[in-house]
């Protein structure tokens, strides 16, 4: 969210305040339409020294362009008079961002927090691709490996007998429950701001 905010705020400025705004917007949008492919992506992560550590799971997918565009448009729809009054009092952009924009952007921020949480929570492929040791797997990657190649070496005879009696449908149902429970817990707290943040952030002024 910190990276998203720091990217969205400069892009929400007018062209007279940020002359390269259009270039950077198209630069971000280009990454949504085209990608270098899986192998170059893996090579860049490994070359940057983030292979087999948390950097590949935190830094690599940290900025989602879709979230940046939503927050950018939300900030652009805020009343300009409030922002101008802050600048007239001698505040800079950082002060305006912290004291004015972020409090007014609570609906959009709540929406993007939910989006980011769901994205990172369900992202099993990055752990499968960038982690070679199973102890570094995130939960979703670990559940995937448990379902595809279950380890029965540490099971007792009774546990192994119970495991063989489980159906594949029961195991998948348990996985779905474990993976979606945090979403069900968090969503009620963000539901009030969810619709408002989506609607206001999707309208370009």
Contact 170, 105 (CB under 8 A): no
Q: Where is pLDDT greater, at 111 or 2?
A: 2
pLDDT tens per residue, range 88-97: 888 888 888 8
Chain mean pLDDT for the chain: 80
User: Residue 59: what pLDDT?
Assistant: 86
User: Which are the contacts of 124, defined by CB distance < 8 A and separation ≥ 6?
Assistant: 138, 140, 141, 143, 144
pLDDT tens per residue, range 176-193: 777 777 777 777 776 666
What is the pTM assigned to this prediction? 0.72
């Amino acid at each position: 969210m910190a990276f998203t905010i720091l990217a969205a705020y400069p892009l929400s400025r007018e062209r007279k305040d940020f002359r390269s705004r259009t270039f950077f917007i198209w630069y971000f949008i280009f990454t949504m339409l085209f990608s270098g492919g899986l192998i170059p992506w893996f090579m860049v992560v490994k070359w940057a020294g983030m292979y087999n550590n948390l950097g590949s799971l935190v830094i690599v997918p940290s900025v989602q362009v879709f979230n940046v565009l939503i927050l950018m448009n939300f900030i652009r729809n805020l009343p300009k008079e409030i922002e101008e009054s802050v600048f007239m009092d001698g505040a800079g952009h950082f002060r305006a961002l912290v004291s004015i924009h972020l409090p007014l952007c609570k609906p959009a921020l709540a929406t993007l927090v939910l989006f980011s949480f769901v994205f990172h929570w369900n992202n099993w492929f990055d752990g499968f691709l960038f982690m070679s040791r199973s102890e570094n797997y995130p939960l979703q990657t670990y559940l995937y490996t448990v379902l595809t190649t279950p380890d029965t070496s540490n099971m007792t005879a009774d546990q192994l007998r119970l495991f063989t009696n489980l159906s594949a449908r029961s195991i998948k149902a348990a996985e779905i429950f474990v993976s979606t429970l945090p979403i069900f817990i968090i969503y009620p707290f963000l539901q009030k701001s969810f619709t408002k943040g989506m609607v206001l952030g999707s309208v370009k002024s």
